[in-house]
Amino acid sequence: MARSNTKSSPSSSSASSSRNKPAKKKAPRARRTGVWRTAANSDRHELYELAVQEVVSECDFIDKTWRKMRGRLASTLREDFCGTAKACTEWARRRKTNHAIGVDLDESVILWGEHRHRANLPEPISSRITILQADVMTVETPAVETIVAMNFSYFIFKERATLVRYFRRVWESLADDGLFFCDAYGGSEAHSEVEEERHLDGFTYVWDQNKYNPITGDVLNHIHFRFPDGSEMKRAFTYAWRLYSLPEIQDMLREAGFASSTIYWEGTNHKSGEGNGIFRPSTRGEACAGWIAYIVAEKRARKTNRRAK
């Protein structure tokens, strides 16, 4: 995959084909609503969701992978580090048989998601979503078919032994044929202290790789939002993580008990040289400047490989 040297934002698990759009002269939202976004009138969680999350394509990917690996679709999903729990909402929405559990430590972000997403859902859908304010390390949930940990949230566990313990907790919480989905980012620019801007709908999203320590692998990343009037929401989000490599992650998943894990590498849009948003199982990546990959780990080895109709 010959990803261009213009790095895609690592703080997005979405297809990079939609990233790095050229700056627009006028913000379409402002034209639509007559209101320009500013730091004072904007909500950081709303901007985060607009800039970073792609829950529809994430759930499509989960469905596609289940069909391929298990010959059926999953019904139960747990979203670890759920934040506003947007993925839970999408999961519960897409099938009557679907149930979602979200887990996050932070009460304020849970309440924001409750107010913004779940309060507006029809009861039959909202009743299939449970949000727990809890630590993913200790939370007890009924066995689920799918657990997701997206946008690199598990990089928060900087000690290798702690991350193995988290993966083990995930393994224990899965049904026997369960699958764990997470993502990772890397590439030569992931080890640089750089800022990347993307111009979105009436605001600019800034991914600021502020610090990288090559000895420990620790990174300090910020998200800032900038606005057409020159105002800025500085450090709207901050992440102190350890930048793990794909082989390290696969080794730890194996140690935690997973029967196997597969890397899904993104294909290339040959016109732009950027990622095309299509992730396929691969054992060979490319040394591009910036990449994002999905990892799918199987609790137990697959029994079926039939395609669902």
Ligand X SMILES: C[S@@+](CC[C@H](N)C(=O)[O-])C[C@H]1O[C@@H](n2cnc3c(N)ncnc32)[C@H](O)[C@@H]1O
Judged by the rule CB under 6 A, the positions of this chain that interact with ligand X are: 52-53, 81-83, 103-106, 109, 135-137, 150-151, 153, 156
Count of CB atoms within 10 A of residue 225's CB?
Answer: 23
Q: Decide whether 70 or 198 has the Cβ nearer to ligand X.
A: 198
Q: Decide whether 109 or 131 has the Cβ nearer to ligand X.
A: 109
Q: Cβ of residue 71: shortest distance to ligand X, in angstroms?
A: 28
Q: Decide whether 83 or 178 has the Cβ nearer to ligand X.
A: 83
Q: Decide whether 107 or 123 has the Cβ nearer to ligand X.
A: 107
Q: Cβ of residue 291: shortest distance to ligand X, in angstroms?
A: 18
| Sheet of strand 232-242: strand arrangement | 195-199, 204-212, 218-226, 232-242
Q: Give residue for tokens 């020159």.
A: 230
Q: Cβ of residue 148: shortest distance to ligand X, in angstroms?
A: 8
Q: Cβ of residue 84: shortest distance to ligand X, in angstroms?
A: 7
Q: Cβ of residue 3: shortest distance to ligand X, in angstroms?
A: 21
Two tokens, residue 102: 């979200």
Q: Decide whether 52 or 190 has the Cβ nearer to ligand X.
A: 52
Residues comprising the chain, all counted: 309
Q: Decide whether 83 or 290 has the Cβ nearer to ligand X.
A: 83
What is the separation, in whole angstroms, between the first and last Cα of the chain?
A: 31
Q: Decide whether 27 or 206 has the Cβ nearer to ligand X.
A: 206
Q: Cβ of residue 152: shortest distance to ligand X, in angstroms?
A: 7
Q: Cβ of residue 123: shortest distance to ligand X, in angstroms?
A: 25
